[in-house]
Amino acid sequence: MTIFCIGKNYSEHIREMGGKPDSSPVFFIKPETSLLLNNSPFPYPSFSNQIHYEIELVLRISSKAAIVKPEDAFRYFDGIGLGIDFTARDQQQKAKVEGNPWTLAKGFDHSAPISDFLPLSPEIDFQNINFHLNINNSCRQKGNSSTMIFSFEKIISYISEYITLRPGDIIFTGTPQGVGPVFKGDRLEGFIGEKKLLDFLIS
């Protein structure tokens, strides 16, 4: 399976990172070894002093998608969950300055904790999904899918123009504003609406 991640999909987050919005989605890939499941503790890696959290809505692809139109894209995913796109911000800054890829900064082991997926149902309005991240019981990030620059459908359509999506692939859809560092001992809890889907420790 492939883990796709969209960057720069919420304008307030683009602003906090000092960037500019793009006319089409920016995406990158994390390896399968970055997955962290079942709310297992996240082992803080030794090569960074600046691991940042980024909470994101995550889509699960349900059937093979190649060159899909945005209006058909809703047929190609069947679940929605939460993930943390852990980022070694110090390594990412270094890569940006040197013009190098972000693979190390974004794709290191355990950098992609994900929750279980909620099945799609008619009650879920994709244009209006609230989600938030608490750290040690205080809210650090809050987002709503209505404020995404590129919709779920646009994201699926865009990636599928270049790379075939396959069942079981997942897509991190970008983080809202409020990213920041985690520290050993922190407890992260992620919610869609009032439903808690993520609950794990930094170890």
54 sits near Mg ion (criterion: CB under 5 A): yes
Using CB under 5 A, pick the residue from 175, 178, 179, 197 that binds Mg ion: 175
Q: Which of residues 80-109 bind Mg ion (CB under 5 A)?
A: 85
173 sits near Mg ion (criterion: CB under 5 A): no
141 sits near Mg ion (criterion: CB under 5 A): no
Cβ atoms of 190 and 196 within 8 Å: the answer is yes
Residue whose CB is less far from Mg ion, 16 or 167: 16
Contact segment (CB under 5 A) with Mg ion among 34-42, 68-76, 152-160, 167-175 equals: 167-175
Residue whose CB is less far from Mg ion, 154 or 167: 154
Residue whose CB is less far from Mg ion, 85 or 169: 85
Residue whose CB is less far from Mg ion, 91 or 119: 91
Residue whose CB is less far from Mg ion, 5 or 202: 5
The number of residues that bind Mg ion (CB under 5 A) is 3
- DSSP per-residue string spanning the chain: --EEEEES-SHHHHHHTT----SS-EEEEE-GGGEE-TTPPB---TT-S-EEE-EEEEEEE-S-BSS--GGGGGGGEEEEEEEE--EEHHHHHHHHHHT--SHHHHHSTT-EEB-PPEEP-TT--TT--EEEEEETTEEEEEEEGGG-SS-HHHHHHHHHHHS-B-TT-EEE----S--EE--TT-EEEEEETTEEEEEEEB-
* CB of residue 54 to Mg ion, shortest distance in Å: 4
d(C-alpha 199, C-alpha 181), whole Å: 17
* CB of residue 13 to Mg ion, shortest distance in Å: 8
Q: Which residue is nearest to Mg ion (CB)?
A: 85
Q: Give the binding site for Mg ion (CB under 5 A).
A: 54, 85, 175
